[in-house]
Amino acid sequence: MPGRTQVRSATVIAGLAATLLLAVVAATSFGAVAVGPGQVVSAITRALAGRTLVPAEALVIELRLPRVVMAALVGMCLAAAGVLYQALFRNPLADPYILGVSSGAGLGAALAFVVGGSGALALVAPPVAAFVLALGTIVLVAGLATRRGVMQTLSLLLAGVAVSYTLAALTSFVLVLQRQQLSRVVFWMMGGLQGATWPQCAVVAVMLGAGLAIPLARTRELDIMLLGDERAGELGVDVERTKRLILASASLMVSAAVSVSGLIGFVGLMTPHAVRLLLGPDHRLLIPASVLGGGVVMVLADLLARVVLAPVELPVGIITALLGGPLFVWLLVRAQREET
Amino acid sequence: MTVAILRYAGATVGYRDPVVSGVAVAVEAGELVGLIGPNGAGKTTLLRAVTGGARVLSGEVMLDGRPLHSLARKEVARLVGVLPQQTPTGFAFSARSFVEMGRHAHLSGFAATLGRADTAAVDRALMLTGTEHLASERLDRLSGGDVQRLTLAQALAQEPRVLLLDEPTSHLDLNHRLEVLDAVRALADGGLAVLAVFHDLDMAARYSDRLAVVADGGIGVQGPPAVVLTSETLSAVFGVRAVIGRDVVTGAVQVTPVVRDGVRPREGAPRVLVISGSGTGAALMRRLALAGYAVCCGVLAEGDTDAEVARALGVPFTAVPLGTVMSVEHGEALRAAAAESDAVAVVATPFGRPNVGNLRAVVEQAGRTVLVGDLSPSLDFTGGEAGALWRRMAVGGARQCTDERAAVAALEEVCDR
């Protein structure tokens, strides 16, 4: 019987990975200058082989591909964080944006922008500052929502919203100080992916990998913690330790995403939820499937953002919010119905 | 000599503040120890202290001869399984993967798959709880009783040596309740040490080898159910006056609560004398006591149900050894008591030579008497005397009614006159 489950899991993962690759190729071929999918693939293989590139290929490799890859990485980070928050808070409404973690990371990144710096420091400082504040935010929000050891759904959402507003206001204040770059910074805050570079992609990929390592090694604990903290403890899970590790991992991935692409909401909400409906609650499958799914969603959302008003680009955060907002309302209504 | 697997050695447990202090309770292999006590006394806290939900503030809790605080979470989970009061529902896990979660403590950190020993332990747990047929069902589509048995299977998959139960059956119907407790009893007989919190005293008496009372921030009486469950304990601990009997089928101690403590006659309440026996007057006495009357009884044999109930209610009566014929003095005293009462209730009771004196003593009070039920010849073991006395009272103006409720109303009218 485990054999059958594993075959199914492998099929799902392979299917999602293939979809992601197709989406990346499709998104890369679209643009002001049309580049066929075949050319995209050949450009990638030639670049990997270290050959010199013709101008059309250089356009693909230097400009379009980093942006698409970045979209995929950001989607992966946010979806992975969403899965983890939903498991820890046992709440399908938990999402880095709603919990205020994104705003915390945003403030951290904004502070790093203002302080400035150059070279490697400019690359690494924003995600690190984002991580510190993201972690502080989630601890604060979870603390505010907990009364006598019990975390209430409504309190969690309210605390998330309240903290999120405060942090967003602080972020705006910080960014106004940086008036000469205002338009770039505003675009970043609304969630934009243009201007992504390969070194940025590398930083985000490393943070994604580091953020996924612990959760993937502890999927069984995550499953068991769905039964409640007390029961998990009875079954031998060190709940507090696991929680701290998972919160840190999730916040690391959120910080990576936010520091390059600003506040992009609802990807971390939609993707895990859809994957859970399809595949069930087993985290051994849920995490990798959500990561790949998040990549697909984000690449397609970014494609939409470029297509809808072409040649004008929309911030991708607008697309994800338009898709995810209604879903969130539906989930909230359903959760209320279950609670009463 | 057997060594206790779970031992509270002068332990004080609680959260920030102590809840139960100076606990000395030991549970050995093959033994089921029941914890009883009023709500909020700390029974659950005692259990939670073992698995980390509550803290051991002072003293020691020993598991398999080692102090609890020296054991890691997983080590504790390999020794102790818990069946909680209620498990959260609505998970889309399969029943089998739910039970497999019980193996967590036996798996190393990164081993994602179960080994052969783990699979065998899960199979055994499913078998012991009779849930093999549910293995591939989804948890959120099963009934509360099934989920509870699967939760027991999950705990057994831990291969524990101690099982802690926290009112495990309070949400189950009678059939599932017996099913779970029978399974637990069988596990105890198979060598598991079980410590269980019980709400239902009859279930506690039926399934436990020993009981320990948790009350007033500590442990009270401990011992076999028959020693612990006395009317004195029940009154002191639960504030309930109860009759302690024996379950005719299982032979277990059986507790029948009669009234809460604090039920006493109203100021200047009318006096009602109740003539009954063999349990025929129990319901009427209870109703009258709850209504605030000053009730007293005739002569009753020791061990008679009416005598037990009267004692629980604090109703005065004269006790004689079973089978003793009422003496002339008893008869005279009762006649005097009847004359002083505001009303007399005579319940249709099996009358024989020993107790017919009760009827003789009240026969002159026919005008103030309420006859409850009908004294058919099958209840008359006096060769007709009891029947004749009964009829004489009926003819002499006694009211007649068929049940206790009507009797209370009739007695009220008599007293008001």
Contacts of A4 (CB under 8 A, 6+ apart): none
A328 has pLDDT over 80? no
Polymer length in residues for chain A: 340
A interface mutation test: which of B55, B73, B150, B195 has the most A CBs within 10 A?
A: B73
Chain A interface includes B74 (CB < 8 A): yes
Q: How far is A3 from chain B (nearest CA, A)?
A: 11
Q: ipTM score of the complex?
A: 0.82
Q: How far is B190 from chain A (nearest CA, A)?
A: 22
Residues of B in contact with A226 (CB under 8 A): 91
Question: What pLDDT was estimated at residue A92?
Answer: 78
B275: β partners? B346
- Region of B167 (left: φ > 0; alpha: ψ -120 to 50; beta: rest) is left
Q: Which of B416, B351, B355 is nearest to B388 (CA)?
A: B351
Residues of B in contact with A236 (CB under 8 A): 73-74, 76-78, 104-105, 158
CATH of domain B6-257: 3.40.50.300
Q: Smallest Cβ distance to A224: which of B51, B101, B114?
A: B101
Listing DSSP states for B228-252 in one string gives H--HHHHHHHHSEEEEEEE-TTT--
d(CA B77, CA B312): 45
> Cβ contact (<8 Å) for B105 and A236?
yes
Q: Smallest Cβ distance to A235: which of B91, B104, B110?
A: B104
> Cβ contact (<8 Å) for B112 and A220?
yes
- Based on its alpha-carbon atoms, the radius of gyration of chain B, rounded to whole angstroms, reads 28
Question: What pLDDT was estimated at residue B1?
Answer: 45
A1 has pLDDT over 60? no
Nearest chain A residue to B73, by CA: A236
- Dihedral over Cα of B170, B172, B177, B181: its sign: negative
Question: What pLDDT was estimated at residue B53?
Answer: 85
Q: How far is A105 from chain B (nearest CA, A)?
A: 31
> Cβ contact (<8 Å) for A235 and B102?
yes
Q: How far is B36 from chain A (nearest CA, A)?
A: 22
> Cβ contact (<8 Å) for A237 and B112?
no
Q: Smallest Cβ distance to B104: which of A217, A228, A237?
A: A237
CATH number, domain at A53?
A: 1.10.3470.10
Helix H or strand E segment including B58: strand B55-63
Chain A interface includes B102 (CB < 8 A): yes
d(CA B242, CA B234): 7
Could you tell me the two tokens for B266?
């109203």
Give percent of chain A above pLDDT 70. 93
Q: How far is B110 from chain A (nearest CA, A)?
A: 6
Q: How far is A244 from chain B (nearest CA, A)?
A: 16
- Number of domains into which chain A is organized: 1
> Cβ contact (<8 Å) for A233 and B51?
yes
Question: What pLDDT was estimated at residue B225?
Answer: 92
Chain A interface includes B107 (CB < 8 A): yes
d(CA A150, CA A147): 5
> Cβ contact (<8 Å) for A220 and B107?
yes
Contacts of B12 (CB under 8 A, 6+ apart): B18, B20, B21, B22, B23, B56, B57, B58, B59
The interaxial angle of helices A153-176 and A120-145, nearest 10 deg, is 150
d(CA A310, CA A305): 8
Residues of A in contact with B82 (CB under 8 A): 231, 234
A65 has pLDDT over 80? yes
Mean pLDDT of chain A, nearest integer: 86
Q: Smallest Cβ distance to B104: which of A2, A236, A280?
A: A236
CB A273 within 8 A of CB A331: yes
Q: How far is A221 from chain B (nearest CA, A)?
A: 8
Contacts of B343 (CB under 8 A, 6+ apart): B270, B271, B272, B273, B368, B369, B370, B411, B414, B415
Question: What pLDDT was estimated at residue A18?
Answer: 96
Tell me the residues of chain B between 119 and 158 that have a Cβ less than 8 Å away from chain A. Answer: 154-155, 158
CB A261 within 8 A of CB A316: yes
Nearest chain B residue to A278, by CA: B92
Residues of B in contact with A233 (CB under 8 A): 51-53, 73
Question: A275-325 pLDDT, tens per residue?
Answer: 888 888 889 899 999 999 999 999 999 999 888 887 788 888 888 888 888
> Cβ contact (<8 Å) for B51 and A234?
yes
CB B253 within 8 A of CB B270: no
Question: A269-284 pLDDT, tens per residue?
Answer: 888 988 888 888 889 8
> Cβ contact (<8 Å) for B105 and A230?
no
Residues of A in contact with B68 (CB under 8 A): none
Question: What pLDDT was estimated at residue A207?
Answer: 95
B257: preceding bond cis by omega (within 30 degrees)? no
CATH class, B263-416 region: alpha beta
Q: Which of A326, A332, A321 is nearest to A102 (CA)?
A: A321
Nearest chain A residue to B91, by CA: A281
d(CA A188, CA A185): 5
> Cβ contact (<8 Å) for A235 and B107?
no
- Grouping H, G, I as helix, E, B as strand and the rest as coil, residue A175 is helix
CB B163 within 8 A of CB B81: yes
> Cβ contact (<8 Å) for B92 and A281?
yes
Q: Which of B60, B58, B80 is nearest to B195 (CA)?
A: B80
> Cβ contact (<8 Å) for A233 and B73?
yes
Inter-chain contacts counted by CB atoms under 8 A, chains A and B: 72
Structural domain containing residue A91: 2-339
> Cβ contact (<8 Å) for A282 and B91?
no
Q: What is the mean pLDDT of residues A222-251?
A: 90
Q: Which of A277, A275, A319 is nearest to A298 (CA)?
A: A319
Residues of A in contact with B112 (CB under 8 A): 219-220, 284
> Cβ contact (<8 Å) for A231 and B84?
yes
Helix H or strand E segment including A230: helix A229-234
- Provide, for chain B, the percentages of residues in helix, strand and coil under a 3-state DSSP scheme, each rounded to the nearest 5: 40, 25, 35
> Cβ contact (<8 Å) for B113 and A2?
yes
Q: How far is A248 from chain B (nearest CA, A)?
A: 19
Residues of A in contact with B48 (CB under 8 A): 230
Residue A339 — pLDDT band, cuts 50, 70, 90?
A: low
Higher pLDDT, residue A298 or A146: A298
Residues of B in contact with A220 (CB under 8 A): 101, 104, 107, 112
> Cβ contact (<8 Å) for A237 and B87?
no
Could you tell me the two tokens for B8?
């509270």
Domains B6-257 and B263-416 alike in fold: yes
CB A80 within 8 A of CB A287: yes
Residues of A in contact with B113 (CB under 8 A): 2
Written as tens digits, the pLDDT of chain B (417 aa) is 457 899 999 999 998 899 999 999 999 999 999 999 988 889 999 999 998 889 899 999 999 999 999 999 999 999 999 998 877 667 788 999 999 999 999 988 665 678 889 999 999 999 999 899 999 898 888 888 889 899 999 999 999 999 999 987 777 788 888 888 999 999 999 999 999 999 889 899 999 999 999 988 889 889 999 899 888 888 888 888 888 888 878 888 888 888 887 778 888 889 999 999 988 999 999 999 888 899 999 999 988 889 988 888 888 999 999 888 888 899 999 999 999 999 999 999 999 988 999 999 999 998 899 999 998 889 999 988 999 999 999 998 899 999 989 999 999 988 887
Contacts of A167 (CB under 8 A, 6+ apart): A100, A103, A104, A106, A107, A133, A137
> Cβ contact (<8 Å) for B93 and A282?
yes
Question: What pLDDT was estimated at residue A5?
Answer: 67
Listing DSSP states for A106-137 in one string gives HHHHHHHHHH---THHHHHHHHHHHHHHHHHH
CB A236 within 8 A of CB B157: no
Q: What is the mean pLDDT of residues A97-107?
A: 89
Taking every pair of Cα atoms in chain B, the longest distance, rounded to a whole number of angstroms, is 91
Q: Which of B129, B135, B134, B222 is nearest to B184 (CA)?
A: B129
d(CA A81, CA A208): 10
> Cβ contact (<8 Å) for B88 and A237?
no
The domains of chain B are located at 6-257, 263-416
* Backbone phi and psi for residue A215, each to the nearest 5 degrees, phi listed first: -60, -40
> Cβ contact (<8 Å) for A280 and B53?
no
Q: What is the mean pLDDT of residues A41-56?
A: 85
Strand ranges inside A187-335, DSSP E = none
d(CA B338, CA A167): 85
